[in-house]
A = this chain, B = another copy of it.
Amino acid sequence: MADDNKITLYDLQLSTGATISPFVWATKYAIAHKGLELDIVPGGFTGIMDRTGGKTERLPAIVDDGEWVLDSWLIAEHLDRKYPDRPVLIGDPGVKPLTQLVETWLWQQAISPWMTCFLKSYRDLSLPQDHAYVTESRERMFGRRIDEIIVGREDRLPAVPPKLELLRQVLREHKWLGGDAPNYADYRALSVFLFCASVADTPVLTDDDPLRDWIERGFDLHGGLGRHPGMHPIFGLKLREGDPEPFNKAAAAGGLVSRNTGPQSTAAETARLKGQPAG
């Protein structure tokens, strides 16, 4: 165990001090999940090689009892291996492949469009010494100027909430992706919303979104780890005439998923299939 119960984490921050990288967010939660304290080395996008003495170009990186560990997944696996008696992050070998599938899906649905909506805010909020790097690397990635990339975001923002229905559906049946308690899958998925809150200069989800309960509980975990004063409100999206329904209101009202516990539990559906009035 770390002598002083502390893990040194090289952060990737904005000028607000809030973490921007979803991978660093997941790592902060993973360390806190293990009951370890965070010893943060602050900093932004530039100078990572200098800060880490040439150990890495990318963050997160941690130092645990003098041992450097790079890469968010490798760090989570290291923590489970080194601290097996503390709450587990990845409790079964199947959690990693499934989480990676779910995370990739969530990035496609949410981070991709949000990135095109918030890139100007992202650049403007970054540390002064990072402005040139963020601007140039992102403009090269998208092949357009940042001012052009964000154009039309008022149409793209309301298109995202309806695409998150799969996540709502599973969180209607389970308190966390980890079941009764959060695990590393929750932290990977929450990181998408933590990233968003670090840069969102306008809200992305409606006030009544059923995801709100899980997100707020997630931001509150580990002493309010997601409640950094540099974070922005992500609830409060106002829909315009003609915007799609943000979530499935019939499903939210209850009871689409049921388990077969005998004929009385399936009678209503049977009647529907047979075109009979439910008994």
Contacts and interface: CB of A to CB of B under 8 A. Distances in A.
Interface of A: 49, 54-58, 70-71, 73-74, 88, 91-102, 104-105, 136-137, 140-141, 166-167, 169-171, 173-174, 176-181, 183, 185, 259-263, 266-267, 270, 273-275
A273 B101 contact: no
A95 B97 contact: no
Copy tally for this chain in the complex stands at 2
Given A91-B91, A92-B91, A56 B97 contact: no
Contact of A273 (B88, B137, B174, B263): B137
B259 A170 contact: no
Contacts of A104: 166, 169-170
A263 B97 contact: no
Contacts of A179: 92-94, 96-97
A71 B273 contact: no
A13 B140 CA distance: 56
Contacts of A185: 94, 97-98
Given A71-B261, A263-B54, A98 B177 contact: yes
A24 to B, nearest CB: 12
B94 A57 contact: no
Contacts of A70: 260-262
A170 B262 contact: no
B183 A101 contact: no
A96 B261 contact: no
Q: 3 tightest A-B contacts by CB?
A: A93-B179, A91-B92, A92-B92
Given A57-B266, A100-B170, A178-B94, A260 B105 contact: no
A173 B73 CA distance: 13
A170 B54 contact: no
A98 B100 contact: no
A257 B93 CA distance: 18
Given A70-B261, A274-B137, A174 B91 contact: no
B267 A57 contact: yes
A169 B108 CA distance: 13
Contacts of A176: 94, 97
29 contacts: A54-B263, A55-B262, A55-B263, A56-B266, A57-B260, A57-B263, A57-B267, A58-B260, A58-B266, A71-B260, A74-B261, A91-B91, A91-B92, A92-B95, A92-B178, A92-B179, A94-B95, A94-B98, A94-B176, A94-B183, A97-B173, A97-B174, A97-B177, A98-B99, A100-B169, A102-B102, A104-B166, A137-B273, A140-B275
